[in-house]
Amino acid sequence: MSALRVGLLGCGGIGARHAGAVAALPDDMELVACCGRDAERTRAFAEGRTAAAYTDLDAMLRQERLDLVIATLPPYNRGGEIERVAKAGAHLLVEKPIALNQPAADAMVADVSATGVVAAIGFMYRFGDAVRRWKAADTGEVGLYAGAYHCNALHADWWREEAKSGGQILEQVIHQVDLIRHLMGEPDTVYARRANFAHHDTPGYDVEDISAIVFGWDDGRIATLNASNIAVPGVWHKEWAVYAERMTGRFTSWNDAVLTRTAGEVSAEEIAGPTDPFVAQLADVHRAITTGGAPYIPLAEGAASLKLALAARQSADERREIRLTA
């Protein structure tokens, strides 16, 4: 089969990362078109990559016979574009967060799934070597997950506005919310706190910069997350520890962890994986498209993880525990 014809919708920071991942799979896919809002910047982005530049999504879909569109629009600008791609028959990889509210997420999942295209959501932590090794290991049930996400940057203008990004929990911490679902399943309750602690005088910055979340299961299991945007400037610090019946995992990234067997003879394995999770995620989408199978992380997972992130935000705003299951 010839290489899949790929189009990029959204040519910003993560769009460039995905373009690099496409280039790392030259036998499987080729970036043939890019669509952005600003004509000049989109042309500059496309030129370096020998792809055609568009500012009109429908024109790109009409003219390029795309097999796959990678959608990296910021969350506030998802007003039917992704559904239009699916209706045109192109498969999809959609960046997180899928949407800013549950009705929009659920409608997108329903509309896209009705078209029958392959559609995946970009929770690429799940493709890391250390995460995959944990999933394949005989860990027993996870009792406790403790995760952290800390940075200190102003990010893009849209990121600082809750109406556009949803805030740090929805836009960044959601990666670990998804990991908790991946490793522990669906929690029954959530309690959270969030505050704009150090940026209330920064114009246009109305999202939280500190937060803490506790997910609970009725059988006693617990997952906690703490996050901030007031930590070391320019450094993205992510880590999580997972305590299961027969194994403890201390992760410093999706690829790097120490997994220690805690039942029987205690022994530790250090994982330092080489996998680029953006490339692995695209390779998985290629597999799903060419074999007619399902992607490893279907789009509906984006709506399910969004539900937990939204509930955490609601809990913080209403200062009460939210029940997630009946």
Ligand X SMILES: NC(=O)c1ccc[n+]([C@@H]2O[C@H](COP(=O)([O-])OP(=O)(O)OC[C@H]3O[C@@H](n4cnc5c(N)ncnc54)[C@H](O)[C@@H]3O)[C@@H](O)[C@H]2O)c1
Q: Which residues bind ligand X (CB under 6 A)?
A: 9-15, 35-38, 72-75, 77, 81, 95-96, 122, 124, 156, 171
Q: Which amino acid appears at position 262 of this protein?
A: T
Give least dist CB 41 to ligand X, A: 7
DSSP conformation letters of 277-305? HHHHHHHHHHHHHHHT---SSBHHHHHHH
Q: Which residue has the tokens 């992510």?
A: 238
- Both tokens assigned to 296: 């490893």
Closest CB to ligand X belongs to which residue?
12
Report the alpha-carbon distance of residue 69 to residue 59 in Å, rounded. 14
269 beta partners? 259
Find out whether 161 and 203 touch, Cβ atoms under 8 Å.
no
Of 309 and 324, which CB lies nearer to ligand X in the complex structure?
309
Q: Which residue has the tokens 């450094």?
A: 235
Give least dist CB 266 to ligand X, A: 34
Q: How far is CA 106 from CA 113, 128, 165, 304, in A?
A: 11, 27, 18, 9
Give least dist CB 248 to ligand X, A: 26
Of 78 and 132, which CB lies nearer to ligand X in the complex structure?
78
Of 123 and 217, which CB lies nearer to ligand X in the complex structure?
123
Give least dist CB 315 to ligand X, A: 22
Give least dist CB 265 to ligand X, A: 38
Report the alpha-carbon distance of residue 253 to residue 134 in Å, rounded. 13
Of 163 and 263, which CB lies nearer to ligand X in the complex structure?
163
- Cα dihedral sign for 234, 308, 297, 167? negative
Of 12 and 143, which CB lies nearer to ligand X in the complex structure?
12
- Coil, strand or helix: which one is 89? coil
Q: Which amino acid appears at position 245 of this protein?
A: E
Of 36 and 187, which CB lies nearer to ligand X in the complex structure?
36
Report the alpha-carbon distance of residue 196 to residue 174 in Å, rounded. 18
Of 14 and 198, which CB lies nearer to ligand X in the complex structure?
14
Find out whether 251 and 179 touch, Cβ atoms under 8 Å.
no
Give least dist CB 195 to ligand X, A: 22
Give least dist CB 46 to ligand X, A: 12
Of 42 and 139, which CB lies nearer to ligand X in the complex structure?
42
Radius of gyration of the chain (CA): 20
Q: How far is CA 191 from CA 165, 216, 315, in A?
A: 21, 8, 6
